[in-house]
Amino acid sequence: MSEQLKKPIWTKDFIFNFVVSFVIFLSMYLLLVTVGGYSKETFGVSDSLAGLASGLFIVGSLIGRFLTGKYINIVGTKKVLIIGGILLVITNGLYFVSASSFALLLIVRILNGIASGVASTATGTIAAFITPAQRRSEGISMYSLSMVLGTAIGPFIGLLLYQHIPMTGLFTICTILIVIAFVMSIFMKIDTPVMANTNEEKKGFRLSDFYSVHALPIAIVVVIVSIAYSSVLSFIQFFAQENHLVDAASFFFVVYAIAVLLTRPFTGKIMDQRGENIVAIPAFICLVLGLFLISIASNGVVLLIAGAFVGLGFGNLQSIFQALVVKVSPVEAMGLATSTYFIGLDFGLGFGPYVLGNFTNSIGYSGLYLAMALVALLGLVAFYFLHMIKAKKEVNYYS
């Protein structure tokens, strides 16, 4: 164990993988928070359809991950990453021809999401494989900072630039970033195990080939929590406009990122040493408080405090859950487990905005965030019944 603990996490390939993942999520979230407003202004669609334009990317990503889960250990993570990178470059270029109709924009969002799902599943699996086994929670926690930074800086840049440049400018920025990431991925040297008996594995269709049974309980919790967080991604801009908090909203995700950056170096180590519950339960509580504070925010200070709590909550739960699905799965199923985690994440983030958009007119944005605080609390209850009780029984059994 001591040798494993001495092995470094931040190797060259880990850093390259980190940067590639960061760029993928940066470009994803840069558009995720702006395409809804762009759809309303350009095509005059409703809140629900604007949420659909935002969330369809995640639905596409869900499809990409679902397909990638079965084949990533057959094809190999490096090849899957290269394939995903090529698809990302092509689909980002398609945004430039999507301005002619809303229907075309929706199609491009789905295709771009599929490409992102393929590529980011590969980076997540690579992170799990190249991290020393005894430092895996810490390593995945460090890797998932790429997601956190992308989900924080992306919305910040997106909301800031959207006020000053046309949407085609944002499309250009995203395309350039993706090309850079693709070039970096080519120079990564990754040696991950390839599943034996590949010819047999490729035959037939079984639903169980596309998700991990071991990771499924955690993925269900991820869906619940992601639905709650999707309200922040898709509707914080509209909430801020309604309450005259646009300036504060621009820094919401920056505060979110700072809160995660200050805590993430510790949560992974604590999870490796003392288990997941000691970090997961406080993170759930922070998420509930953050969403509640948004619902009552009447000034910028309260909104930014809410951003800190949401960062401490959802920002840390992301890495906790990703490390946990790997922890409960056998080594040969780590790729499938990672895919299953992301499927849960994408399902909540993808379908959440469309579903929640149907309630904004009746309960308002403040009412929506109050309801999402309760949904986050439901996530804690689900975590207790789907994981904590089972894990406690297993500990008692083996002790």
Q: What is the secondary structure of 83-141 as a DSSP string?
A: HHHHHHHHHHHHGGGGGG-HHHHHHHHHHHHHHHHHHHHHHHHHHHHHS-GGGHHHHHH
Report the length, in residues, of the chain.
399
Structure tokens at 116: 């992102």
Predicted pLDDT of residue 397: 38
Whole-angstrom distance between the N-terminal and C-terminal Cα of the chain?
21
* CA diameter of the chain: 64
Predicted pLDDT of residue 279: 92
Using CA atoms, how far apart are residues 230 and 318, in angstroms rounded to an integer?
Answer: 13
Predicted pLDDT of residue 1: 45
Please list the ranges in the chain whose pLDDT falls under 70. Answer: 1-6, 191-209, 392-399
Is residue 27 helix, strand or coil?
helix
Predicted pLDDT of residue 180: 95
Predicted pLDDT of residue 335: 76
Q: Indicate the DSSP class of residue 300.
A: H
